[in-house]
Amino acid sequence: MDNRAEIREFLVTRRAKLRPEDTGLPDFGGIRRVPGLRREEVALLAGVSVEYYTRLERGGLAGVSDSVLDALVRALQLDEAEREHLFDLARAAAPAPKTLRKKRGQVSPSLQRLLDGMTGTPAFIRNGRLDILAINALGQMLYSEAFVSSERPVNLARFCFLDEGAHRLYPDWQKAAETSVALLHTEAGRDPANGQLTELVGELSTRSEEFRTLWARHDVRLHRTGYKEFRHPAVGELRLSFDALTLPAEQGLTLTAYSAEPNTPSEPRMRALAELTFGARDGSGAKASAATN
């Protein structure tokens, strides 16, 4: 897979974010034709020749050692997500081994049963291009705006940029949009041969100016834990913690689950959302009887 253009844009955008004073280098002034560090400054910080760094920035990461990649990480002050992305780009640039490509993960019946058993926790399983491949009842209630359309599977990136419901569901739509694009960029570095992902990026680039602008930033992100905010039409504002777990047995799949922090306004609202989903329940989790003996 020829990913030289992706490598070039990623490295160029990373050095554009740094100034000499950010790195301890002296700034001798003069007009800079491009924002951020010059190539020779990155080369100096990484301990390589300008010619060698220029070759790397032009996409020549195939066969580059881990020590050189780590030197670039330090020189460009990359965070954990950016470091992983750089290593993914280098692996993808290497000649592909002559082995059968492993089939991408699929949701097994046992995984669906696992989701369905999580009655107090909204949860879903997605792939790298942000298709929701399986979801439990509470999760579908939480993301009800995304399930208005009959198109399946629901794609969270397409929903975010092409559906007005996303602006209703996400109080901070900009943050949700930035996260979606960063996750797609991360996946593109990890799996550049994914034709379906390429098609999605092409579709969104054609139909959404906001997507094109964010895609050009080449930001990446690890989405393992944190908080996400929702504005549900029935229960109002929700600030939920999330945990995203990769599924080792199913290549490329991630299980994401949400929960409300105890003693916060979101806790009773989450209970209300569960009641909307399942009906009123007793303390054991079973549906409460409508009559008593």
Q: What is the pTM of this model?
A: 0.88
**Superfamily the domain 4-93 falls into:** lambda repressor-like DNA-binding domains (1.10.260.40)
Per-residue confidence (pLDDT) for residue 95, from 0 to 100: 76
How does pLDDT run across 217-267, given as a tens digit for each residue? Answer: 999 999 899 999 999 999 999 999 999 999 988 888 999 999 999 999 999
Q: Which CATH number fits domain 109-278: 3.90.1570.10, 3.30.450.180, 3.40.50.1820, 3.40.50.1110?
A: 3.30.450.180
141: which strand partners?
A: none
* Residue showing tokens 């409508």: 290
How does pLDDT run across 72-92, given as a tens digit for each residue? Answer: 999 999 999 999 999 999 999
- For residues 177 and 167, the answer to whether their CB atoms sit within 8 Å is no
CA 131 to each of CA 39, 82, 94, 160, 200: distance values in angstroms, whole numbers, following the listed order: 38, 23, 28, 12, 11
Q: Which residue has the higher pLDDT, 176 or 98?
A: 176
C-alpha to C-alpha distance for 62 and 59, rounded to whole angstroms: 8
The dihedral region occupied by 263, where left means phi > 0, alpha psi between -120 and 50, and beta the remainder, is left
C-alpha to C-alpha distance for 154 and 139, rounded to whole angstroms: 13
- For residues 223 and 183, the answer to whether their CB atoms sit within 8 Å is yes
How does pLDDT run across 142-172, given as a tens digit for each residue? Answer: 999 999 988 999 999 999 999 999 999 999 9
- Average pLDDT over the chain, rounded to whole? 90
Q: How far is Cα of residue 37 from the mean position of the Cα atoms in its chain?
A: 27
85: which strand partners?
A: none
Residue ranges per structural domain of the chain: 4-93, 109-278
**3-state SS track over 126-146:** ECCCCEEEEECHHHHHHCHHH
CA 242 to each of CA 33, 122, 224: distance values in angstroms, whole numbers, following the listed order: 43, 10, 8
Residue 8 has pLDDT above 90, yes or no: yes
Enter the tokens of residue 104: 């991408």
Going by pLDDT thresholds of 50, 70 and 90, the confidence category of residue 98 is low
